[in-house]
């Protein structure tokens, strides 16, 4: 039984093909593979792939069953909007007849599943946010977790070498006032 379940957070290798099911013009277009990382239902996947297919109709060769060929003088039987592509030397679908988009279908199968890797930038972002939180709350952060906070200022009377162990900040006048400026750093 084929695996059709796209409803999970794993990375899925999906093989699919677009089908055209109008009577007398039934065609299966070539297979394609796609990696799906989203959590989707079958309707959403089908809508996505049909929309992509419609966007690319101007590049899709007219199938042989529809009378497609590399003979410029022999116009295909279907669709009436087919056009000759000089670059490729073939007839391309270009556009389906107006009422025929409803005949597009998607057949697919999940071939493989892979666990997703953790997002490193999210972990880096969390690390920076934790450091900011710790700095704002007066707690030490990072490798010098037993250190005290101190600022580099040249204001006379500031004694930044006297840590206040209860608050993680220096005992100087500027630190007691909370006047750290932009020069705070952690010392261990």
- How crowded is the C-beta side of 95, counted as CA atoms within 13 Å? 5
Find the domain containing 144 and state its range.
135-187
Q: Which of 64, 82, 114 is the last residue of a domain?
A: 114
Alpha-carbon distance 34 to 155, whole Å? 63
d(CA 75, CA 77): 7
Q: In the structure encoding, which two tokens stand for residue 136, read together?
A: 């704002």
Residue 159 has pLDDT above 60, yes or no: no
Task: Note the pLDDT of residue 170.
Answer: 55
Question: Is residue 82 domain-resident?
Answer: yes
pLDDT at 177: 59
In a domain, 76, yes or no: yes
CA pair distance 188, 178, nearest whole angstrom: 20
**Model pLDDT, residue 123:** 78
Model pLDDT, residue 184: 47
pLDDT digit string, tens, across residues 59-117: 999 999 999 888 999 999 999 999 999 998 999 999 999 999 999 999 999 999 999 88
Residue 25, domain member (yes or no): yes
End-to-end Cα, the chain, rounded Å:
63
Residue 182 banded pLDDT, cuts 50, 70, 90: very low
Torsions phi, psi of 139, nearest 5? -90, 145
Note whether 25 and 90 are same-domain residues.
yes
Q: Do 85 and 147 fall within a single domain?
A: no
98 and 36 in a common domain: yes
pLDDT digits (tens, 9 = 90+) for 127-154: 888 889 888 887 655 554 444 444 555 5
Cβ-proximal residues to 168 (8 Å cutoff; 6+ apart), any chain: 138, 139, 140, 148, 149
**What percentage of the chain reaches a pLDDT higher than 90?**
57
Tell me the whole-structure pTM to 2 decimals. Answer: 0.62
The answer to whether position 109 is within a domain reads: yes
If one counts the domains in the chain, the total is: 2
Please indicate, yes or no, if residue 123 is contained in any of the structural domains. no
pLDDT at 156: 52
Per-residue pLDDT at 54 exceeds 70: yes
Give the per-residue pLDDT at 140: 58
> In this predicted structure, what is the pLDDT of residue 175?
55
Tell me whether residue 163 is in a domain.
yes
Question: Average pLDDT of the chain?
Answer: 82
Task: Evaluate whether residue 2 is within a structural domain.
Answer: no
């Amino acid at each position: 039984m084929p695996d059709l379940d796209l409803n999970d957070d794993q990375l899925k290798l999906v093989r699919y093909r677009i089908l055209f099911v109008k009577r007398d013009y039934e065609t299966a277009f070539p297979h394609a593979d796609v990696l799906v990382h989203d959590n989707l239902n079958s309707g959403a996947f089908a809508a996505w792939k049909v929309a992509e297919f419609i966007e690319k109709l101007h590049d899709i060769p007219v199938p042989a069953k529809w009378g497609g060929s590399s003979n410029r003088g022999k116009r295909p039987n279907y669709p009436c909007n087919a056009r000759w592509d000089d670059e490729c030397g073939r007839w391309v679908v270009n556009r389906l007849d107006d009422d025929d988009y409803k005949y597009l279908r998607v057949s697919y199968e999940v071939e493989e599943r892979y666990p997703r890797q953790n997002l490193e930038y999210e972990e880096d972002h969390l690390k920076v946010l934790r450091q900011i939180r710790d700095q704002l709350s007066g707690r030490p952060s990072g490798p010098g977790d037993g250190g005290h906070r101190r600022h580099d200022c040249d204001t006379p009377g500031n004694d930044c070498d006297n840590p206040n162990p209860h608050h993680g900040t220096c005992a100087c006048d500027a630190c007691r006032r909370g006047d750290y400026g932009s020069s705070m750093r952690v010392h261990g």
